[in-house]
Amino acid sequence: MSGTAAVVELRGISKRFGRIEANRSVSFSIARGTIHGLIGENGAGKSTLAHILYGYVTPDSGEIRIDGRPAVIRSPRDAMAVGIGMVHQHFMLVDTMTVLENLMLGQERGPLLARGEAAARATLGSFSSAKDSRIDPDAVVETLPVGLKQRVEILKALHRGAEILILDEPTAVLTPIEAAALFEELRALSRSGKTILLVTHKLKEVMAVTDAVTVMRHGEVVGELETRSTTPAALAALMIGRAPRPPSKAPAAPGAPVLEVTGLSAVDAQGIRCLDDVSLVVRAGEIVGIAGIAGNGQSELIEALVGLRPVRSGTMRLDGEDIALLGIGARRRRGLGHIAEDRLDLGAIAGFSATENALLGRQEGADFTRRGLLREAAIRKTLEGWMQAYDIRPAEPERSFSQFSGGNQQKLVVARELERRPKLLVVGQPTRGIDIGAAELIHARLLALRELGAAILLISADLDEVRLLSDRILVMCDGRIAGEVPAEAADESRLGLLMAGAAEAA
């Protein structure tokens, strides 16, 4: 912001990975005590830049200046020495240790640990407000909800003396309520003098919480703006090089029922009922969306439908056949497709190549095997076609899945499932953690599958996405279907009341 001294300056930063130029002469500055957004599509180079600033990656050229002085940052230790901390998208906590023990790691301050423990408890006290008192220093991390785990990550960075915090896609795994709490905390840190670099692609977040924003595209800076002087549409155009294009949606023409669920009930690992007498129908050629606050049975419903969770009672019919006792493979052979809520947990294997991930669940199909042997040329040709049709970059079939950006990972998973032409597609969070361009493509592909006559059950925490794609919307609350709303009548107020359990909203 004008008139405020720069605490971080990047000058001419460039980085290449083989043929891929991730950053190309990137220059911008971050004012002290501000929240600065760094946005761009998946693969735009923003995460590489964050990793350079934190010392995970060494730039090929360019200079970093902290408080006006050149800084050589070749490791996270170097970054922490100049006051930089980082909160990663995938948490770096030790789940089996307590909150206090995680804060103390590397900060023990002597063999008897007493000084380190006292300092860690002081940090928890200094940066915890009254509403944060739920963070028990002696709680084991794996027992904490996601929002509190992230807060522990922030506290860990602050405990190490961070004055500059980098947050990489911090809301990718948070519910809207948890995201709002995070933004409140970031504003408080900013008011206390901390400087925050928020790496994201979510324009609502940028507009809600940042003071200034830098936009990247194809490894270069294409815009530097004060947030108050711009709009989401202008930022989107800078990110993707054109104005956003919402997908064209033809009127629904539902056919015969494909999925019929009646009286479905299930319990969680503690024996507590998580699905309670759920009944629904999805017809050919329609998208039925399910909205609800996270933790109200949406994930468990997906698991029950695809065969990952046993059910206590009820029926699930696919094309008239009860599939409740069938395994995952048998359900897929009968035409069920599944886009998992977490692509790295259930949708793909990070260490496998793009080619190997394209084979998952399809390795026995006639298009990929013959007489028990893989048809390698056919597999490669198919994947190259997917990469072109779904704009998966870089178009390198043998590249490790983990080396693709999140949006390109998701497009590969979506291509694998949609190109099977399933009768029923169960979709969980299809655009979570991906950029505008990738989301546009996935939305268009889902609508195209609907036009081909597939039945689609869409579960998303993004109400805008549910309203955009769905023909009918069901709302879940406490493991039950709380109500049904036609898409054209689904305003946020009505859906919000149902999500909160106000049955009269229906």
Whole-angstrom distance, CA of residue 178 vs CA of residue 188: 16
User: Is 248 within a domain?
Assistant: no
| Cα-only R_g, the chain | 24
Q: Are residues 271 and 365 in the same domain?
A: yes
Which residue type is seen at 196?
I
Q: Are residues 51 and 183 in the same domain?
A: yes
User: Is 333 within a domain?
Assistant: yes
User: Is 245 within a domain?
Assistant: no
User: Is 246 within a domain?
Assistant: no
Beta partners for residue 480, in sequence order: 477
User: Is 247 within a domain?
Assistant: no
How, if at all, do strands 480-486 and 35-40 pair? unpaired
Q: Give the pair of three-digit tokens for residue 417.
A: 């499932």
Q: Are residues 182 and 291 in the same domain?
A: no
CA distances to 120, 242, 253, 419 from 425, rounded to whole Å, are 48, 31, 17, 11
Q: Are residues 338 and 484 in the same domain?
A: yes
pLDDT of residue 134: 63
Domain boundary among 210, 240, 270: 240
User: Is 120 within a domain?
Assistant: yes
pLDDT of residue 261: 98
| DSSP notation for 354-401 | HHHHHHTTTTTSTTTEETTEE-HHHHHHHHHHHHHHTT-SS--TTSBG
pLDDT of residue 130: 41
Q: Are residues 103 and 67 in the same domain?
A: yes
Identify the residue whose tokens are 């423990």.
Answer: 117
Q: Are residues 229 and 289 in the same domain?
A: no
The one-digit pLDDT tens for each residue of the chain (506 residues) are 555 689 999 999 999 998 889 999 999 999 999 999 999 987 789 989 999 999 999 999 999 999 999 999 999 999 999 999 999 877 889 999 999 999 988 777 666 677 778 888 888 877 665 444 467 888 999 888 878 888 899 999 998 899 999 998 888 767 667 788 889 999 999 999 999 999 988 898 899 999 999 999 999 999 999 999 999 999 999 999 988 888 889 999 999 999 999 999 999 888 999 999 999 999 999 999 999 887 899 999 999 999 999 999 999 999 999 999 999 999 999 999 999 998 988 899 999 999 999 998 887 777 788 877 888 888 899 999 999 999 998 899 999 999 888 889 999 999 999 999 999 999 999 998 788 888 999 999 999 999 999 999 999 988 889 999 999 999 999 999 999 999 888 887 888 888 888 754 44
Domain membership of residue 411 as a residue range: 257-505
Q: Are residues 285 and 404 in the same domain?
A: yes
Total residues found in the chain within this entry: 506
Local structure of 177: helix, strand or coil? helix
Q: Are residues 264 and 371 in the same domain?
A: yes
pLDDT of residue 187: 95
Neighbours of 345 (CB within 10 A): 9
Whole-angstrom distance, CA of residue 219 vs CA of residue 48: 9
Whole-angstrom distance, CA of residue 227 vs CA of residue 209: 9
Whole-angstrom distance, CA of residue 414 vs CA of residue 401: 14
Q: Are residues 233 and 289 in the same domain?
A: no
Q: Give the pair of three-digit tokens for residue 58.
A: 């060494």
Q: Are residues 203 and 283 in the same domain?
A: no
Specify the CATH number for the domain of residue 179. 3.40.50.300
Domain boundary among 240, 267, 291: 240
User: Is 404 within a domain?
Assistant: yes
- Identify whether 111 is preceded by a cis peptide bond (ω within 30 of 0): no
User: Is 300 within a domain?
Assistant: yes
Task: Provide the number of structural domains found in the chain.
Answer: 2
Q: Are residues 130 and 89 in the same domain?
A: yes
Whole-angstrom distance, CA of residue 395 vs CA of residue 411: 12
Domain boundary among 209, 240, 271: 240
Q: Are residues 309 and 218 in the same domain?
A: no
